[in-house]
Structure 1
């Protein structure tokens, strides 16, 4: 597993006891799972032959960002929303244990899904196009799930996307200062939120994943499976275009093909206008600010991921500020 300052290191005894208490079976094998950088994850095999995925939140007292507190409860919520409202292939949650009585942190046990993350698969051109279409169609499905309040469930919801986005950005700036750093770019982002208040107040409230990177999508036999919806929020559906096309460092106008594919199956079309460009650029700023601030709690300054976050954030800010 990737080194990270937030990962809970479970003992074998804790995992055995958790599975026994919840009557999931007698554990016969435990192995680290995935390349996540925040939670700990394990593949747990039982004497029945069944395998499960165990996910554990950072330990009590770990330094995490404001929006990351109790984020695991939100992840379970988003899985439930997808199962109840869509046909998207994603894991079933068997047990959610937030008691901290056995494992001393929030955790849940879910279905172990088969497949390789998209980045690990050597696709032909036609296979890749098919996978991209499936990803975009998954977004149109979650964007049919609506709410009347915006923001992160774990930090409190707001009446408009303007209020929610300003709160989300404000919390990140406060987190940054509490860690002993200034973020002039974060302050500038908040000023742009205020500048575009009228646009943001008109944004519809939809389920947004905001994390549909290739590492969070598994592939097997032509089908894809969605994992790790933990960073989801109620907000602007345009924000989900950050992971599509050429990625998060290019404007929405560079994603014409993805917009066309999206609009083929979407109930509400996303049309490329100056307003949608602004909404998208503000979502890019949110991701840039998250990457900028999270590096201080996850990594040491000489680690590659710290440097990656620094470079990524700078390039995202520059692109977005040019639009805003």
Structure 2
């Protein structure tokens, strides 16, 4: 598994006992699963040949960011939302265990989905374009799921996107300060949230994934499957364009093709305008602030991922601040 300070290392005994307690069967083999950098994940095969995915949150002793506390309960919730409101292919959760009795951290057991992450598949240009189209259509489906309050379920909801985004950004700045670091860019970002308060008070409240990178989408037999919706929140649907097309370091205006595909099946169209550009740039700033602060709790300064986060966040801030 990827090296990270937040990962829970479960023993074979814990996993065996967990599966036995929940009457799923006898564990035969256990193997690390996926490239995530926060939770631990295992592929568990039983002696009857059935296979499951087990996901475990960081231990209570791990230093995590404010919004990441109890994030696993939210992940289970977002899977439920997708199963109940869309036809998106995603794992079924069989058991949620937040008791910490056997495994000493929150965990859940879900359907083991077949396939490889999109980045690992050798697509032709046409195939890749088709898969990205499917991905965008998935977003139009979750953006039909509405709520009347904004933000992270696990961190408290707010009446407007302005209030939620200001709180989300403020919590990260507080996290950064508590870790002994300053974030002038984070403070600047909050000043831009205030500058655009009126605009942000009129944003629709929708299910937002905010993490639909190619690593969180599996491909098998022509179909794509969505995994890891844990970083979802109720908020501005424009924020989900970050992972599309040219990625997080380019403005919304660089994603006209993606907007066009989105608007073909979306109930509510997203039109490129000065307003949507500002909303998008603020979402980019939020991702930049996450990357800036999370490196302090996840990695050591000489590790490649620490350096990656530093460079990424700088480029995102520079692009977004130029718009704001």
Give the TM interval when normalised to the shorter protein: over 0.9
The equivalent residue for 1:278 is: 278
Per-residue deviation, residues 199-256 of structure 1 (Å, max 9, x unmatched): 1000000000000001000001111000000000000000000000100000000000
The equivalent residue for 1:46 is: 46
Cα separation, 2, equivalents of 1:166 and 1:280: 15
Q: How far is 1:47 from its partner? A: 1.2
Unpaired segments ≥5 residues, structure 2? none
TM-score (norm 1): 1.00
Matches within 5 A, 1:147-296: 147-296=147-296
Q: How far is 1:267 from its partner? A: 0.1
Cα separation, 2, equivalents of 1:23 and 1:47: 13
Cα separation, 2, equivalents of 1:279 and 1:199: 8
Cα separation, 1, equivalents of 2:225 and 2:233: 20
The equivalent residue for 1:130 is: 130
Cα separation, 1, equivalents of 2:61 and 2:155: 18
Q: Which consecutive segments of 4 or more residues in structure 1 shift more than 4 A?
A: none
Per-residue deviation, residues 299-324 of structure 1 (Å, max 9, x unmatched): 00000000000000000000000000
Q: Secondary structure at the match of 2:225?
A: strand
Matches within 5 A, 1:74-89: 74-89=74-89
Unpaired segments ≥5 residues, structure 1? none
Cα separation, 2, equivalents of 1:257 and 1:74: 32
Q: How far is 1:82 from its partner? A: 0.1
Cα separation, 1, equivalents of 2:178 and 2:116: 39
Cα separation, 1, equivalents of 2:56 and 2:262: 34
Per-residue deviation, residues 64-89 of structure 1 (Å, max 9, x unmatched): 00000000000000000000000000
The equivalent residue for 1:97 is: 97
TM-score (norm 2): 1.00
Per-residue deviation, residues 133-153 of structure 1 (Å, max 9, x unmatched): 100000000000000000000
1:4 aligns with 2:4: yes
Cα separation, 1, equivalents of 2:245 and 2:8: 34
Q: Secondary structure at the match of 1:321?
A: helix
The equivalent residue for 2:28 is: 28
Q: Secondary structure at the match of 1:199?
A: helix
Q: Secondary structure at the match of 1:177?
A: helix
Paired residue total: 324
Cα separation, 1, equivalents of 2:121 and 2:14: 34
Cα separation, 1, equivalents of 2:24 and 2:165: 40
